[in-house]
Every structure is written in C-alpha cells, then in structure tokens.
Amino acid sequence: MSLFGPKNIPLEPKNRKILQIIPANPGWDAVWVGASNNPCRTQPIICWALVEEPSDDLNRDPKAPDQVVIGMARDGFDGVSLCSGSFFLGYAAPDADQEDKEYFLSAAEEKLRDLEDRKSTQKHAEPDTPADASTERPRG
C-alpha cells in the first residue's frame, strides 16, 4: 500500500516550528474529508516541511522536541499550509492504487457519518430539559 497517514501528528498542533522545507516530487497528494457528494478532497503536495513540535510523550525529556515531516499544500488562492487537522486523512503517493483510493474513501465516509451522527444528536437534544429530569418524582 502506498499511502502515509498522519500518525503521531496532533490534530491541534501548538508551538510548531518549521526547520526546513524541500520541494515535493510531482504526484503526491494530501487527502482531506470533503462533502457527502464528494467524500475525498485532494490537493497536490507542494513541498515537505521538517517540523519541530513539543513531545506529548510523558516518558520523553520535554526539552527534546519531536521532529516530523509534514506535507504542505495550497491553502486558498495564495497561501500554503501544513497538512493537518481533524479532516486530514493522509498522503497518497504518486503510485496510489485502487486499494489506497478505497482506504481514503472509506475513512472519509466514516468521518462524514460521525459528523452527521453528532449533528443529529445535537439537533434532537432538548437543551431546556435537565439531564436528570426523567428520574425526578412528581411532587404531590
């Protein structure tokens, strides 16, 4: 399988520092969750960044930050940003095959289902009703 996911990259990075940037070879894509009619959205990787970020591992020396390589893709019309976040699924290599595409499609559809479930749960919740209202006894 020719794909690389965002393992060990925090969803809400803080204190990141880009140490080095190198151009990406053509064909690499970043894959994000899209919309229900198009579950996967891709952007070509423009470059790779060597990024330093504080370690979340309690067994490591906090003064020894982690270094990871993260792709960078176009952000809007005139910007470039690190590929990360809760909607980021991973990287597709230039030789991505059908198995890779099915993996990303499945992951995107699962994320979209989770989002719809959360929306549905929030929509049907009654915010004015106390959480323990069903256990209260009527006062007579």
93-118 per-position pLDDT tens digit: 999 888 888 899 898 999 898 888 88
Q: Report the C-alpha gap between 38 and 59 in whole angstroms.
A: 41
Which of 46, 57, 32, 36 lies closest to 113, judged by CA?
A: 36
Give the predicted TM-score (pTM) of the model. 0.65
Residue 68's pLDDT is: 86
Residues with Cβ within 8 Å of 49's Cβ and at least 6 positions away in sequence, in order, are 18, 19, 20, 21, 69, 70, 71, 72, 82
Q: pLDDT per residue over 47-80, tens digit each?
A: 999 998 776 666 666 666 688 899 999 877 778 8
